[in-house]
Amino acid sequence: MQSRTCKFYIISKLSEHKVYSQTLKQKKLKKDNLLIEDYIENSDLSNDDAGDDHISTGLETPMKKDSIAMSDKEKKVKISHLFKEIMDVLGLDLSDDSLKDTPNRVAKMYIEEIFSGLNPANKPKISLFENKYRYKQMLVEKDITFYSNCEHHFVPFTGKAHVAYVSSGKVIGLSKLNRIVQYYAKRPQVQERLTNQIAEDLKEILNTNDVAVIIDAKHLCVSSRGVKDNTSSTITSYYGGIFEDSAKITELQNYINK
């Protein structure tokens, strides 16, 4: 008799727990739905022009103060979970062999590749050398291919960067110019900011104002959505020190256009 009473008590408690859990889930679902409804009601999601303006808030990439508190491994786990939710909301079947590993692939790609420039630990180590050749003219590294992502729509923009400087007594390895471009490109970006970040970093590294950066890029947020213009490109430039002289700008452009 005691055994039956105990068994009945356990079943009763399990039923209560199940009902309690279902109630909590219903409350959470109701809360989530209210939040979504409130967001939709107060958001101009139907406005075709919303978010098309490309604005930049400053030279520094907008980052949280504790952006590096979480390890890369933890970030990948969290991104994978959240991207899985996005795919689920889109109605994709996550049990399909082609899709089931996509959240992990995206998380790895974000952290290790296309947004690796957000981690200061990935900044290239730079070594300078004495200008023993006494080369006093501009040095130009042109057609540096880069891939970045528009921070407004998280779609790529790609192109070529042209970098020039005049030595103040030190020179930098040519491959390091490419690596500096890649480092600042591998983060959500605005082309104007990317141009200035590369220039300012080179000025500090080389201890000279005689630096120029020109970027010519095509934006998928322009060609694949919105206005859907596949022929236009965007050019930005930075001219510092002697490169502010019109004759030097012409000389630099002649080098680039050869």
What pLDDT shows up at residue 108? 98
Nearest to 141 by CA among 158, 165, 125, 159: 165
Structure tokens at 16: 């209560």
Helices 174-185 and 191-206, axial angle in degrees (round to 10): 140
Q: Give the model's confidence band at 224: pLDDT under 50 very low, under 70 low, under 90 confident, else very high.
A: confident
Residue 258's contacts (CB-CB under 8 Å, 6 or more residues apart) are none
pLDDT, average across residues 109-117: 98
Round the CA-based radius of gyration of the chain to a whole number and report it.
Answer: 27
Average pLDDT, the chain: 87
Residue 214's contacts (CB-CB under 8 Å, 6 or more residues apart) are 161, 162, 195, 235, 236, 237, 238, 252, 256
Q: Give the model's confidence band at 58: pLDDT under 50 very low, under 70 low, under 90 confident, else very high.
A: confident
- Domain range list for the chain: 72-114, 128-257
SS percent in the chain: helix, strand, coil, step 5: 50, 15, 35
Kindly report the length of the chain.
Answer: 258
With 70 as the cut, is the pLDDT of residue 48 above it?
Answer: no
Q: Supply the residues annotated as catalytic.
A: 150-153, 191, 219, 221
With 80 as the cut, is the pLDDT of residue 34 above it?
Answer: no
Higher pLDDT pick, 198 / 37: 198
> DSSP assignment of 101-126, as one string?
THHHHHHHHIIIIITGGGSGGGSPP-
In whole angstroms, give the CA distance from residue 146 to residue 133. 30
**In which element (H, E) is residue 11 found?**
helix 2-42
Q: Give the model's confidence band at 177: pLDDT under 50 very low, under 70 low, under 90 confident, else very high.
A: very high
Task: Give the pTM.
Answer: 0.80
With 80 as the cut, is the pLDDT of residue 39 above it?
Answer: no
Structure tokens at 229: 């213009």
Structure tokens at 132: 């023993």
Q: Give the model's confidence band at 31: pLDDT under 50 very low, under 70 low, under 90 confident, else very high.
A: low
Query: Looking at the domain 72-114, which fold is it?
Result: GTP Cyclohydrolase I; Chain A, domain 1 (1.10.286)
In whole angstroms, give the CA distance from residue 65 to residue 110. 20
pLDDT, average across residues 161-190: 97
* Cα maximum dimension of the chain: 103
What pLDDT shows up at residue 20? 56
Long-range contacts of 106-109 (CB under 8 A, 24+ apart): 106/79, 106/80, 107/75, 107/76, 107/77, 107/79, 107/80, 107/83, 108/76
Lowest mean pLDDT segment, chosen from 25-34, 93-102, 169-178, 190-199 = 25-34
Lowest mean pLDDT segment, chosen from 1-10, 115-124, 219-228 = 1-10
CATH of 128-257, one of 3.40.50.720, 3.10.180.10, 3.30.1130.10, 3.30.110.40: 3.30.1130.10
User: What is the percent of the chain with per-residue pLDDT over 90, rounded to a whole number?
Assistant: 69
Higher pLDDT pick, 3 / 200: 200
What pLDDT shows up at residue 228? 85
